[in-house]
Amino acid sequence: MGWGNIYKRRMKVFSLAFLVYLDYKALQQREKWIRKSKRAALWEKAHERNARRVLSLMIELEGLWVKLGQYLSTRADVLPQAYIYLLKQLQDSLPPRPLEEVCGTIEKELRQSMNDLFLDFITEPLATASIAQVHRATLQNGREVVVKVQHDGVKTVILEDLKNAKSIVDWIAWAEPQYDFSPMINEWCKEAPKELDFNHEAENTRRVSKNLGCKRERNERFSANHVDVLIPEVIQSTEKVLVLEYMDGIRLNDSESLEALGVDKQKLVEEITRAYAHQIYVDGFFNGDPHPGNFLVSREPPHRPILLDFGLTKLLSSTMKQALAKMFLASAEGDHVALLSAFEEMGLKLRLDMPEQAMEVTSVFFRNSTPASEALENMKSMAEQRSKNLKVLQEKTKLNQKEVKRFNPVDAFPGDIVIFTRVLNLLRGLSSTMNVRIVYLDIMRPFAESVLDGNISRGPRLNAQWIYDTPVHSDVEAKLRHLLVELGNADKILGIQVCAYKDGEVIIDTAAGVLGRFDPRAVQPDSLFPVFSVTKGITAGMLHWLVDTGKLKLEESVANVWPRFRSNGKDQIKVHHVLNHTSGLHNALAGLTRENPLLMLDWDECLNRIAMSVPETEPGSEQLYHYLSFGWLCGGLIEHASGKRFQEILEEVFIHPLNIEGELYIGIPPGVESRLATLTTDTDDLKMLSGLSNENGLSNYPGLPSSFQPQDIAQLATTLPILFNALNIRRAIIPAANGHCSARALARYYAALVDGGRVPPPHSSSSKPPLGSHPHIPKFPSLKSQKKPKASKKELQDSHSSKDGGSSGKGGSEYKSLPSNDGSIDSDYPMAAETSSNTVREIFNNPRIHDAFLGAGEYEKLVLPNGKFGLGFSRSYAKDGTLVGFGHSGMGGSTGYCDIKNRFAIAVTLNKMSFGAVTGKIVQFVCSELGIPAPEQFSRFGQREPNSQFNLEKPLIN
């Protein structure tokens, strides 16, 4: 093709594109002045007029434009009927090339004459397409075949058409920014030239046929996800000629023949969809061109689909295959966290945090197909949704209407997704053309689940990388990893982290397993786990800091700090009652989970309900676990006493000084979704818990409020994973139950507490990525309408001080010794360092801070005698009854604990919710190896003793 012809071809393409664009823009202006009753007819005429123009040029130019027309002809779900009806002619009925050209190509490529190659060669082609045409023939050995012959000079035409198509797409993106198809045309430019090598297509055909098991006998045993399709065998191939086995079949557009044979169209399209789901999710290698012309239906019963033309295929990496499966399941489950995580894994980056809109767009990918008769309604629905999304985008970006149309919320669009979405669109178009309704979420789900289940079920026994590859810090850690492998092989662990400090140094920092049931990525040291009531220990620490800095007093009435709290006889409730679980508000907000769990997202509403609640017992008279109310009681106190937002105090007091940025949150910010572990339940433990609620006729377990009895807990345990896996819940500030952290951040927190608030030396340098290396910028204010005193400029700088703080990187000699002066319980201690985080060496200045945590010594009068809780922390005893330490566990097994005398701190985070057995074994094992007493509550985790009510209570509230 000479330059003159190339130029003429280019001008024809651009001229038509411009003409069609102007035609529609003019009609948009005209319809404003035309009655509504006549508008539909005008649009139909415009569609037919422009469809004829497009068809005429495509037939004239052939090449890539025919392929584009074939694609458009399948989109009956979104394109006007005029385009579908006219462009359908392009699927297999193009004008054939001269026989002399065809025979010349065959003889040149196969290096034999036609007479030597074939007994018979049918001169009339079976089909003529954009790149080649197909003839039926009989080989010299009598075998019936089809011969696919590439058009002469088509390679030059295709490459030129790709350039022209790219120019048009770029122009459309400029003129109408909401229609930016640049990523798609870029991927097509990369993949389309591969179709011009028939050796490549031959290898693809063999590979897909093998993957789908097409050559197995029908009486062989098949897997659950076997698909029943046929693919022709490859006989011979060269760059421009492909010889395939002949299969007698009917084209999908031959409705009369299909009806005559009694072909079930619904079943037929479902099986084609299953075949593509297998290729994408199971094999990671799929045909990228499933238009109706590339399928036949076998004439012989059971009328199986015949898959043709594997020139355009896509190979997915294992990571991308898993990410696509995860994206599918996230869409099916409405799981925003998993969706955003899948986006990050596949390299799809958004410029804005818009999880709801991201879910809507993804749901469009996998929506049910609709018959062609519903195309107009479907287009209107999608246009309305697009308009709504633009409004949300405009609110987010603060752009005007014109600017927002030009704003592209996608920052990076991976090429692998382009062919994937094209396949989904073509399949949807195919089902519309066949006038059937396909529920993709049902048909494709087993295949998506199988690829993730297959990786996740590969526990330690089959997965040498089940323990994340990090250096071993001690002999104890090496032995612990063997224990974790045993528990993993027993299916007691899905994903877990264990970190421990001894004498201020890291001795264990191990991660193992996977992030979730449908997330086969490895747990890493910086992965974030939901830890439920472990959060209470952190929230309690914040209150103690306010006391330590003189902003609050333990014996102060809550109402003095929080005036609205005075209502309904609560003026006698003091701060220490809240910390000791003796305020009498143990059932406050209990109805929230039944009434509407999403009310937990409304910080102000929860604080208001707590302020209006009515105590059930006298303050200080009975210790009953405040499983939900504890967090908002403490949260309200923290904000009213400090005049700052809850998260500001969290950062100021613990995050920056301990240098645990990005690894401890109460309410996660955008951008951390890819590091989140997903919760699931240990069904064996759940059955045991359900059984306990009916044993021995016991209906009330001491220490637990009436709304948190075993029957309630068993029911709650089934719903908690679903609820707390949801993105909106994870982002909420729920100070009793919504902490997300790594074990190493939690262990460092308790390592500081066990030393009276002294900041430990820097975390182990062998842990990668380094602790504190993630940015920590939460942007979710806990206050919406309450007016607070404005923080000074200096305070704002302090609360967002450098994340490099917490230690100087030097040894322990740099730390100050604890002050030894005495003072009363509520005396004003010298203000703990809270300016530049790199100067913080001690979080607390109170020399008796351990007594304050435990409710011991001079603080003993502030707690209920013999209670399980001190002031905010659960007390831990050795078997001989000696008080050895403190901490807090959460429902499901995550825990933080420290032993004061032995300067030992340990944290366990896990995502397979059990009721203590795994955590108990780990803590027992580590303590035994170190020769220190194991806390009594951990030593009894998971054991069924005669006094099972006592045994149950331990793992739940401690």
Question: From the CA atom positions of the chain, what is the Rg in Å?
Answer: 34
Phi, psi of 506 (to 5 degrees): -75, 125
Strand-pairing partners, residue 680, are 912
Question: CA angle, corner 842, sides to 837 and 845, nearest 5?
Answer: 130
Strand partners, 625: none
* Bond prior to 769 in cis (omega within 30° of 0): yes
Q: Is the link from the previous residue into 933 a cis peptide, with omega within 30 of 0?
A: no
Please name which of 594, 583, 533, 538 lies closest in space to residue 558, comparing C-alpha atoms. Answer: 583
Q: Which residues are 147's β-sheet partners?
A: 135, 243
CA distance 535 to 512: 22
- Write down the residue that tokens 């699927």 correspond to: 91
Give the C-alpha separation, 812 to 503, whole Å: 11
Q: What is the DSSP-derived secondary structure letter of residue 511? A: E
CB of 496 within 8 A of CB of 484?
yes
Q: At what angle do helices 415-433 and 440-456 cross, to 10 degrees?
A: 140
DSSP structure class, residue 221? -
Q: Is residue 138 classed as helix, strand or coil in its secondary structure?
A: strand
Beta bridge partners of 158: none
Rounded Cα distance, 558 and 611, in Å? 10
Residue type, 192: A
Q: How many CA atoms lie within 13 A of 738 on its CB side?
A: 26
**Residues identified as active-site:** 289
SS3 string, 729-768, reads HHHCCCCCCCEEECHHHHHHHHHHHHCCCECCCCCCCCCC
> Which residues contact residue 426 at a Cβ distance below 8 angstroms, ignoring those fewer than 6 apart?
71, 74, 289, 290, 291
Of 832, 834, 843, 759, the residue nearest 798 (C-alpha): 834
Contact yes or no for 714/689 (Cβ under 8 A): yes
Contact (CB, 8 A) for 290 and 310: no
CA dist list (Å): 301 to 213, 223, 807: 19, 22, 75
Side-chain-side CA neighbours of 450 within 13 Å: the count stands at 17
